[in-house]
Chains A and B, each alone.
Chain A
């Protein structure tokens, strides 16, 4: 039988608020353990939570970006379970009434666009961290992360392959980063993903028994874990076996998943409305304010880039993967209106300089105006494309203007026919043997002569002019 995979993702995104979800402690990462704490996030007796208004605003931002319906009234609920990283032994979350429901995002697959439904987006607080001593049976608790605001974004079970899941994950990450509400760092855990996956006979409408996959802290691992799990379930079902509902942990080392707990061992979280927090009312005025301030989202921007700048969809996709990179591109184009050339330079030289990290763009020493200046120098023949790469390296290292680097280093291209002719004659005179062989038919020696002239002119020879003069001078010697 042919099986079809059904995948749904649950994403947890840490919100970039200054303070925690229900107290005034800073959310700054990397401080001394337990220094970002107060009686409230430590769960001391009698303390009470007060919702951070910014966290709500950020949640509404994401909800609108994902085309969700925002519930005018939602409720915080307590999710009860015991663990030392959870000081109250319950997590403030949302259960029956989340902030937002019924949304969707579009993902791009090979030449087609697919809409993936968003079931719900709700707010909750993060837990702390346990640090286990490798040498003794002792664990330490760091509660700095406790109470940092999270949103959980639950998709509909509408993806059918690991590739689709990865595409969805990328789209959500880029929306979150665009909105400026999450840094999207999967390795550091500010953007986390759990996956529900089940199989069903192809064409069947009913869902099969699912397993929940955890511990996948990179896009690659999500894809790998799903791939493995689909293969595993296919094998079980094909062998006449049954899938059991369970939570499975991904092991990055082996690329496999292993059972963590079965449905029978699953926690009963005993959700109930948190009596310390009133029903949450999202005012229409807040929704309208957030809507008005919503930035252009990656999909719209990509579409606009293709239309407005006439660049290929691929380029537009790369450039709009980051809001800052897209802004960089647009600014460069205002100074040098050759979008494809700008796009080429950003995607190759600039990305290389940033070591592939789009986030480095804001601190990149080469500013858009400077990059535009460099491209202009190529266009007007001041320097060659090859020299431009050298100039660019220097710009990256020093942040200096290209014109200054070209002038200081004397990199202006030699296009002057007289000077070039002298250099060519000189090279030909010094390499008579090679000239003979060239004239005898070894024409690919032309490259050797170009190289020698370039060497003599320190690369500044205008390649086009050089070619003409060289051919002419060689013919003279026939």
Chain B
């Protein structure tokens, strides 16, 4: 583990780069080239990217430099970013980590990609992920796993393992991930970076390849809370193309960075800590708690009784939606089609048998079963009720506290291959993150320490709907007096 003042452009945070760009000390093209060089240097080891879009990045960097010269840039204009391989980038293949979309080139941009264009933030490439975001280790990707930059034999977590590893390995100062059950927060915790899942409806899902529509949400990944705030300012907002996006004014999130947290109250869910059986995670949590207490934060114990059912309910709702969302990949219109078949039904069967990996197939089958006539009430409807109960649990909790405090993951990063054959063990990695998606709340993952082996451990803060600013405020205050987020893996 190395700690030093950033001297290379690729090591700088987005806010540092933004400052240099503003003062015209450096050009966006220079920054972009530095990052493309960094990718060329280390991505062979990390394998964070599926597609590096060097031409697009440089073209956007030139545009950024023109705008900055003309004085019409935004704070992040010229700062490069990586996007997860499930956000459509017009003219560039967007594979969603799946063979079935291995050659799919969307003729449209996702809304967030349009926003990156509007802000002239060079897109470095599309980063690796679990197939259709189904997984917690980035191992289900058809492109092979991404490696944790802190220990290459370990997973970066998932499903946004690629974008998160890219930020951790300084192959991108910023990245956009998506989070359906913890897919931003878990890898952020595993890779020692900061990541936030905004409130459901805060960021447009248009052009985000759907996994579970009622849970999916795009969010940023960065070195620290300040950078996250800057990206939230770019991506939060109503989109008429997404009926579930909420029309509301979002605050300037960067204003929350230096607010301080004296007098705030954090809730500690007893259920979460009771089920925790990892001493290193526990240690990191109590140290983090001490830091926050020193900043004037009060802690209260509280109960979220239905959270125990979170995983069970999630594995009904998410696969149900997925079974329907993924029905369109049938070989008729785009994507993979089996080379030989005998009739229409056989074409469907072979195409999907070849195109989807085992985890995706497992979830399609689970969901198809759960929605079947005769089972719907017992599964889908029951799970939907559990979801309401979880939401109500949080609502009650927020009467007593400003945010909920807990770990992101029950353990530090595990080894590649360790859990891939045991889906239940894999699913349990998301035990603390899933309830947040079920309730549609914003949740942030903040580096909170390291294991004895030097592996990152993250803490999670959960706020009421549309209180992302509060999470930024808490995380920034924590990062002011800690340095976990400034540490970098040696590559």
Using CB atoms and an 8 Å cutoff, list the residues of chain A in contact with chain B: 39, 42-51, 78, 80, 82, 84, 87-90, 141, 268, 270-272, 275-278
Contacts and interface: CB of A to CB of B under 8 A. Distances in A.
Contacts of A268: 372-373
Contact of A39 (B107, B214, B240, B243): B107
Contacts of B332: 84, 87, 141
A45 B96 contact: yes
6 contacts: A39-B106, A80-B323, A141-B333, A268-B373, A270-B376, A271-B376
Interface in B318-335: 320-321, 323-324, 327-328, 330, 332-334
A276 B207 CA distance: 13
A270 B323 CA distance: 10
Q: Which of B106, B213, B324, B371 has the most CB of A within 10 A?
A: B324
Contact of B242 (A39, A43, A45, A48): A48
Interface in B188-215: 205-210, 212-214
B213 A80 contact: no
Contacts of A276: 210, 213, 243-244
A45 B106 contact: yes
Given A45-B94, A46-B210, A141-B332, A272 B244 contact: no
B2 interface: no
A46 B327 contact: no
B177 to A, nearest CB: 15
B380 interface: yes
Nearest to A38: B108
Nearest to A137: B343
Contacts of B323: 80, 270
Given A48-B241, A48-B242, A275-B213, A39 B108 contact: yes
Given A48-B206, A276-B244, A278-B244, A270 B372 contact: yes
A141 B94 CA distance: 25
Contact of A270 (B86, B205, B242, B368): B368
A47 B208 CA distance: 7
Contacts of A277: 243-244
B398 interface: no
A351 to B, nearest CB: 47
Contacts of A78: 324
Contacts of A45: 88, 94, 96, 101, 104, 106, 209-210, 328
Nearest to A50: B243
Given A46-B86, A47-B207, A80-B327, A270 B244 contact: no
Contacts of A49: 243
Nearest to B369: A270
B450 interface: no
Q: Which of B243, B244, B330, B371 has the most CB of A within 10 A?
A: B243
A80 B244 contact: no
B344 interface: yes
Nearest to A141: B332
B334 A50 contact: no
B328 A87 contact: yes
A85 to B, nearest CB: 9
Which interface class (under 10, 10 to 19, 20 to 34, 35 or more) fits B?
35 or more
Contacts of B94: 45
Contacts of B330: 82, 84, 89
Contact of A46 (B207, B243, B371, B373): B207
Given A48-B242, A50-B243, 15 more contacts: A45-B88, A45-B94, A45-B104, A45-B106, A48-B241, A48-B244, A80-B327, A82-B327, A87-B328, A88-B328, A268-B373, A270-B324, A271-B371, A278-B243, A278-B244
B466 interface: no
Contacts of B328: 43, 45, 87-89
B243 A48 contact: yes
Contacts of B206: 46-48
Nearest to B213: A275
A288 B380 CA distance: 37
B309 interface: no
B107 A272 contact: no
B324 A84 contact: no
Contacts of B107: 39, 44
Contacts of A278: 243-244
Q: Is the interface of A mostly helix, strand, loop or mixed?
A: loop
B371 A272 contact: yes
Interface in B355-399: 368, 371-373, 376, 380
Contact of B327 (A47, A88, A141, A272): A88
A45 B348 CA distance: 17
Contacts of B241: 48, 50
B243 A51 contact: yes
Contacts of B214: 275
Contacts of B240: 50
Contacts of B475: none
B68 interface: no
A88 B240 CA distance: 21
Nearest to A278: B243
Contacts of B88: 45-46
A158 to B, nearest CB: 27
Contacts of B372: 268, 270
A12 B207 CA distance: 31
B204 to A, nearest CB: 9
A37 B351 CA distance: 24
Given A39-B108, A45-B96, A49-B243, A272 B334 contact: no
A84 B334 CA distance: 12
B243 A272 contact: no
A13 B323 CA distance: 29
Given A80-B371, A90-B327, A272 B376 contact: yes
B110 interface: yes
B17 to A, nearest CB: 29
Interface in B57-89: 86-88
Contacts of B334: 44
Nearest to A78: B324
B464 to A, nearest CB: 20
A46 B332 CA distance: 17
Nearest to B384: A273
A386 to B, nearest CB: 65
A416 to B, nearest CB: 77
A39 B94 CA distance: 15
B337 to A, nearest CB: 12
B324 A272 contact: yes
Contacts of A39: 106-108
B101 A84 contact: no
B344 to A, nearest CB: 7
Nearest to A88: B328
Contacts of A46: 86-88, 106, 110, 205-210
Q: Which of A80, A84, A272, A276 has the most CB of B within 10 A?
A: A272
Given A44-B108, A88-B328, A90-B324, A82 B348 contact: yes
Nearest to B94: A45
Interface string B271-311: 00000000000000000000000000000000000000000
Nearest to A268: B373
A478 B263 CA distance: 131
B361 to A, nearest CB: 16
Interface string B120-144: 0000000000000000000000000
Contacts of B371: 80, 270-272
Contacts of B108: 39, 44, 47
Nearest to A143: B333
Contacts of A47: 108, 206-207
A130 B333 CA distance: 13
Contacts of A84: 330, 332, 344
B311 to A, nearest CB: 19
A138 B334 CA distance: 17
Contacts of A48: 205-206, 241-244
A84 B330 CA distance: 9
Nearest to B326: A89
